[in-house]
Structures are given as C-alpha cells and as structure tokens.
Amino acid sequence: MDAHAERLLETLNENGYEAFVVGGCVRDALLGLAPKDWDITTNATPDAVSACFSSYPQLTQGLRHGTVTVLYRHMPYEITTYRTESGYTDHRHPDEVSFTKSLREDLSRRDFTINAMAYHPKLGLRDYFGGLEDLSRGIIRCVGQAQARFEEDALRILRALRFACRYRFTLAPDCAQGVLALRVLLPQLSPERIFSELTEILTADDGKILLQFAPVFAKALRLENTQGSPDFAKYVRAAAQVPEMADRLVLLLWSVPREDLARHLQALRCPRRILQLVVNRREAAQLPFSNADWPLWLIQWGEECLAHALRIAGALQSWDPGCRRTYETQLRQAVRSCPCTNLSQLRVNGRDLRELGIGPSAGLGNLLQELLLTAARGRVKNEREPLLELARKLWQEKAAE
C-alpha cells in the first residue's frame, strides 16, 4: 500500500474517524497492478477532513460532493465523506448528495463490484458485494441492479466496456444486457467524455468487445440506423482485425461519406491529430493497390500512412495473407528504391530554379513536385545538374504551350 495514503488514514484515525482507501486503487492492488492514485473514503465531514489536514495545501473544487483534495508530499489525495446519492435527472450526475456514517451505504452507490471495495492496513478488506470473487472470476458486475446503475450514469455503459477491455474480463449477463439496452442514453453524454472512453476501449480491446457490443459503438459514434445493417457488421468485423485505434476508427466510420468524415469526427470532438490520421488513412485505403504507383503514393501519403492503409484495406476486403504480404513487400521495396519522397530530399529548390530565370514563383511549386516525382520514379538522377536540366526543359515546354 502507498505509504503516504497510509499516513493520511492514520491521521484521520488519530482524530477519531474511520477511513479506508477505496475504489480503483484497491481493485488494482488486488490484481497486482500499481494504482495510478489512491482515493480515501471516511466518515469525517469535509470540514473535519479540512481541519485534520490544515497544515497541508488543499483543493476544494469537489467540496459539493464531499471531496477534499489534500496535497501531501506534492501528491494529490482525494478524501471523500461517506455519502449516498439520489435522483439522476441528466443520467450523469446525482441531483442530491447526502452524507452518511455507513461505509456499506457509501460502497452501495458505486458502479461495479470490483470498484466497491475498501481497505485498511489494520482492519483488512471491506467487500460487501462480492468484488473480490468477481475479480478472481474475471467478471464485471454492477452493484445492485445493472439497469438502475446505467440509468443513473450513462457513462458507466462505456466504463463497463473499458474495464472489460483493460483487464480482459467479461460482463455479467445482466450487465451486458443493460449495456445494450441503455445505449440509447449515450447521446446525453458530452462528446468529449464519449470519445475519451472510446479511445481507451479501441486501444485496449482484443476485438471481442467490438464484436459483442457493436450496436453500442454505433450509437457512441453517432452512426444512426446503421447498427443492424450487414455493411456495418462487416466494418465491425474488419475493425476487430486491426489493433490500432485510428485504423479501427477508419473502419467503424466507413459508412460516413469521405467528404463528411472530417466534420463527423469534429462533431465527436476527435483530437486534431487523430482526425488527420483517420482522414488520411481512409483516403489511402481506397487506393488501387493491384495497380500500384508506389513512388507517387509515397510522395502523397508517406510510408507509415500506406502501411496502415494496407492493413485497413486488407481487413475490409478480406485479403488472404499472401496478398497482403505481397503489397507490403512492394511497399518496402519502393521505400528502399525511391531516392527521394519529399521536397527536402530533392537536390534542388526554388532558389536554384529562380537563379536559372525560371518563374514566376506561382509555377515553381508544381515544377518542383514534377521534378520530385520524376526523380522518385528513377527517370532522372536526384542530382543538381540533371534536375536543373530537366527543369529548364519542362519550363520551356510550358512556355511554348
């Protein structure tokens, strides 16, 4: 157990209060993993917690929900009063929070049994809902009725899938049914929260969650009226075959027209870097690989994008392994054989061309691109004199038109 968290527990105990570490830190410690943070639950009121740690810096933005964050040895520790919650009008946040003196009551409001355990180094584990057994069996099970838990907070739908992916657990039958039945609540969540959860799920999933809960992903990605279509089922099966998150997004969003893809991703609050990867890989995955023009494509897309495009196209079109290996070999050979694939590698630049009297500058960009492609295809040496000679010839031909 974290020594600093243990010292905080001792301080609360010395002042006459109960206190336990709780939630994800207990879960991860029992799994033999290093917890990212250590949360504490106590019967002390927020004012009492604040008084116990008056000599330490404190953050109080969670005070409305009974949380005082104590900065101990420059690390934040959230200390929350035992509480109960009621009324979830927005299917996300409780309308009312009440403090309680009962640890069991506090744990009963939590989402999953594996997150509803508390621990004290002297008092041991407090596990009222079978969380330890579910950990040992690899099961995600809700505390109480699954449907009620998901109706209270729709984000738990995606959290259930995230935990299943992270730990390679399975959802209990009623939990799985609730996830599917209440996916209709997902649009009430902020796009940022949905995309954040999806990122973790699509990064960690081995493909099983995607296949089992495809309608949930359709709803989360705002793909209306597609979750039951044969085409969407095909895209999901393809996405389950590729491990990289951006590649999976390309396939899951394949039904979105190319011209609308960037706008769709923006509406999902997709970060700009991921958005650009998805858009570029979608374009590259539709190239005619059976009639490849690798030098041109390397200039346009780059090696990494093309490598991902091959994985995407192969999964979507069900290429046999030999076909995909052939294209991957061709790509590697093209990378080795191409003397240049971007303008920084070209042995001449715009200044060189202007010194020859080639201009105006508006036409220099196109001319440099033509020189680059010709050199990439090996039709002219990537050396200064041959390139300048070709540039002079091309410019004269253009002037004569």
**pLDDT tops 90 at residue 111:** yes
346 or 365: which carries more pLDDT confidence?
346
Q: What does pTM read for this prediction?
A: 0.88
Specify the DSSP element, H or E, that contains 308: helix 303-317
Alpha-carbon distance values, 80 to 2, 104, 147 (Å) = 18, 14, 26
Q: Are strands 75-81 and 39-42 parallel, antiparallel or unpaired?
A: parallel
**Facing residues of 75 across strands?**
72
CA distance 103 to 121: 16
Residue 285: per-residue pLDDT: 97
Specify the DSSP element, H or E, that contains 84: strand 83-86
**pLDDT tops 90 at residue 1:** no
Confidence of residue 275 (pLDDT cuts 50, 70, 90): very high
**pLDDT tops 70 at residue 362:** no
Confidence of residue 357 (pLDDT cuts 50, 70, 90): confident
User: Residues 156, 175: contact at Cβ < 8 Å?
Assistant: no
Structure tokens at 12: 């609360």
Structure tokens at 18: 């109960």
Spell out the alpha helix ranges (H) of 221-267.
Answer: 230-239, 245-252, 258-267
Residue 91: per-residue pLDDT: 77
Residue 228: per-residue pLDDT: 62
Angle at 31 between CA 27 and CA 37, to 5 degrees: 50
Confidence of residue 110 (pLDDT cuts 50, 70, 90): very high
Length, in residues, of the chain: 401
**pLDDT tops 70 at residue 149:** yes
**Facing residues of 79 across strands?**
40, 68
CA distance 351 to 93: 62
386 or 229: which carries more pLDDT confidence?
386
> Which residues are within 8 A (CB) of 170 and not within 5 positions of it... i.e. 6 or more apart?
138, 139, 140, 164
Average of per-residue pLDDT across 10-18: 97
Residue 227: per-residue pLDDT: 59
**pLDDT tops 90 at residue 214:** yes
62 or 68: which carries more pLDDT confidence?
68
Nearest-CA neighbor of 284 among 272, 296, 301?
A: 301
Alpha-carbon distance values, 234 to 28, 98, 256, 259, 318 (Å) = 36, 48, 14, 21, 10
Average of per-residue pLDDT across 1-20: 96
Residue 401: per-residue pLDDT: 65
Average of per-residue pLDDT across 126-130: 97
User: Residues 76, 70: contact at Cβ < 8 Å?
Assistant: yes
Confidence of residue 172 (pLDDT cuts 50, 70, 90): very high
Confidence of residue 358 (pLDDT cuts 50, 70, 90): confident
Average of per-residue pLDDT across 87-100: 80
User: Residues 211, 280: contact at Cβ < 8 Å?
Assistant: no
> Which residues are within 8 A (CB) of 179 and not within 5 positions of it... i.e. 6 or more apart?
150, 157, 160, 161, 171, 213, 216
Q: pLDDT (tens digit, 9 = 90+) per residue, 243-268?
A: 999 999 999 999 999 999 999 999 99
- How many CB atoms sit inside 10 A of residue 369's CB? 13
Q: pLDDT (tens digit, 9 = 90+) per residue, 292-322?
A: 999 999 999 999 999 999 999 999 999 999 9
Confidence of residue 220 (pLDDT cuts 50, 70, 90): very high
Specify the DSSP element, H or E, that contains 124: strand 124-126
- What does pLDDT average to over the chain? 93
**pLDDT tops 80 at residue 225:** no
User: Residues 121, 151: contact at Cβ < 8 Å?
Assistant: no
Alpha-carbon distance values, 52 to 37, 58, 73 (Å) = 21, 11, 16
- With pLDDT > 70 as the criterion, what percentage of the chain qualifies? 98
